[in-house]
Amino acid sequence: MNFNIQPNSFKLPTIQFRANNTISNNSKNKESELERNPKQDSFEMSIGYVNDTHGQTNNMMRILSGIKGDLKLSAGDNDIGDEKNKAVHRATMKFLDIAGITATALGNHELDTTQEDLIDSLDDFKGDVLAANFKKELIEDEDQDEVKELGRAHLENSLKSSKVVEVNGEKIGLVGASPIDMFDRLTHPNYHTDCTVDALEDSIDDIQDEVDKLREHGINKIILLSHLGKAKDQILAQNTDGIDVIVGGHTHELIKDIKEGENLLYSKSGEPVIMTEAGRDGSYFGKLNVTFDKDGVITKAQNNLGETRLFHKNMINQYVFDEIMGKPEKVGFIKQAPPPPTTLIEENPHANFVCDAMKEEMGADIGVWNNGGIRNFFHEGVIDSRDIKDIAPFFDRMSLAEVSEKTLVDMFKATVKTTYTSHGNKPGLIAVSGLNYTVSPKKAELTAMNFVDKNGKEIPIDINNPRADKMYKVATDEFMMSAGADYAVLAPHDKCLEIRPYDKDVLTCEYIKHLDKPIVINQTGRIKFED
């Protein structure tokens, strides 16, 4: 079956969506029933979808104002992975429920809390969590001391491999898939050492088995909710039969159009498979319109993305979030803010501003933060404590330590090398205050570094011979200071001068209030790039 792609677009009541594509069947080798009698034999439906919302409650409020679809689905990573912030877990599940999400994939961030806490938060979600390739040991077979200590529970009872829903009189099959690298991504992997995710080849078999079961029951329209990531979704689409749509996530791709060879692929039997993915942090959400023929083969499709920031918050449900999380406090006004970066290998002025807050409020010489830790950005206008919590959602206490010049330089060297040799995936360049540095992307090397004193004077640091006896007071969060976060450990807990009982969102709120003026986010030029 051959497909030609033709541009198309439509308007929702409040916003013009981005350019989209329509797929039309122009096969000369086979005349379909749809082409002979489309009204009698076709079935049309729309799928509203989200992925990787990461507990961004303000974006969730906006998505509630715009998400549409006969069937609404999530590809997982709905939450942020903060084990201590149960209010955000509950708010996230309430969002899924209010939005009418029927099912979600099990992403890696869903497992950043204990199994007991995850099951507890799922009480606020009436839909299903799907993961065909996820396996868990029986509680009865585990060490009971570990079960109690690590908060393990009968998680398998809260998960399904697949489910069947009815849309406009037609039965639709749903299958879920968790990421192959799930346990490399968890904040607290020890909570889930009794769990495994099958390797890619075995995961494909797991998914195909579920699809075959659905097809045996006469279901010929099947959607995969996948947190495998785009590249693995492409492999899976071409090595299975029976999947029509893959609602994807995990790799934070922004798929705006339908492009043959990218997100329009063909199954082993040659039938079309449409893939979607709507970026990260709830910045976008999608609506996929599809038309099936009487055999359940897609003959027409249209993919639409809505940019979340262009929608107003759904104030009807504001009280629900306020009841769960508390009413946010207005802390300041952002006069100017640039667009956020889209990769971990760009300078992030939003993260740099938080580093300024760390340095000043902690009385440090230097503030550092991993770019992967920032999950939203400052927006122009009034900003409140919930906005800032969305920017810095993870609960990691503020830490202050004396760090040698050598330790600091060694960490930056290792970070730059790993970041560029991993093609920018992990761990990402470091946001800074009180420092600037130069990198060579081509060589994957740190090439220069300067300490910036309180007067703005740049003092060169000899990166080839950094001093072990030269000490700086460094402020960051507890995770980056002592746990590593794929970075070298700056200082163990017992060497920290101070560990404060709050996170950087609280500190940043205080910093903005202390500035007591409209804020301009323009903290750039702290990372330079050569080559």
Kindly report, residue by residue over 226-270, the tens digit of the pLDDT.
999 999 999 999 999 999 999 999 999 999 889 999 999 999 999
Quick one: 294 and 256 in the same domain?
yes
Give 83-140 pLDDT, tens digit per residue.
Answer: 567 888 888 999 999 999 999 999 999 998 899 989 988 888 999 999 999 999 998 9
Torsion angles phi and psi, residue 395, rounded to 5: -85, 100
Query: Does 116 lie in the same domain as 67?
Result: yes
Which among 108, 84, 95, 9 has a CA at the least distance from the CA of 59? Answer: 95
342 & 238 share domain: no
Q: Which amino acid is at 321?
A: F
Q: Cα–Cα distance between 88 and 110 in angstroms, integer?
A: 12
Peptide bond into 427 cis (omega under 30): yes
Tell the residue number behind the tokens 């029976």, with chain if given. Answer: 242
Is residue 27 in a domain?
Answer: no
What is the domain extent for residue 478? 328-529
- Structure token digits, residue 119: 């099951």
Give me the pLDDT at residue 200, please.
Answer: 97
DSSP structure string for 356-420: HHHHHHHT-SEEEEEGGG--S---SEEEEHHHHHHHS-S---EEEEEEEHHHHHHHHHHHHHHHH
For residue 121, what pLDDT is reported? 86
- Residue 187 inside a domain? The answer is yes
Tally of domains in the chain: 2
Contact 230, 248 (CB under 8 A): yes
Query: Is the domain of 278 the same as that of 375?
Result: no
Beta bridge partner(s), residue 196:
135
Q: Is residue 16 assigned to a domain? A: no
Alpha-carbon distance of 294 to 302, in angstroms, equals 19
Amino acid at 287: K
Residue 404: other Cβ atoms inside 10 A: 18
Would you say the pTM of this structure is higher than 0.75?
yes
**Domain with 350 in it: what CATH number?**
3.90.780.10
Distance of CA 59 to the CA centre of its chain: 13
Q: Is residue 344 part of a domain?
A: yes
Residue 125 maps to a domain: yes
Are 437 and 488 in a shared domain? yes
**Residues 214 and 334 grouped into a single domain:** no
Look at residues 310, 344, 379 and tell me which one is the last residue of a structural domain. 310
Tell whether 250 and 399 lie within a shared domain.
no
Q: Which of 250, 282, 310 lies at the terminal end of a domain, its last residue?
A: 310
Q: In what order do the strands lie in the sheet with 43-50?
A: 3-8, 20-25, 298-307, 284-292, 43-50, 71-74, 101-105, 128-130, 159-160
Local confidence pLDDT in tens for the 531 residues of the chain: 333 333 333 233 222 333 334 444 433 333 323 333 445 579 999 999 999 999 999 899 999 999 999 999 999 999 876 656 788 888 899 999 999 999 999 999 999 889 998 998 888 899 999 999 999 999 898 889 989 999 999 999 999 999 999 999 999 999 999 999 998 877 778 899 999 999 999 999 999 999 999 999 999 999 999 999 999 999 999 999 999 999 999 999 999 889 999 999 999 999 999 999 999 899 999 999 999 999 999 999 999 999 998 898 888 888 888 888 889 999 999 999 998 888 889 999 999 999 999 999 999 999 999 988 888 899 899 999 999 988 988 878 899 999 999 999 999 999 999 999 988 777 899 999 999 999 999 999 999 999 999 999 999 999 999 999 999 999 999 888 987 667 788 998 889 999 998 889 999 999 999 999 999 999 999 999 998
What does the block give as tokens for 77?
């990573």
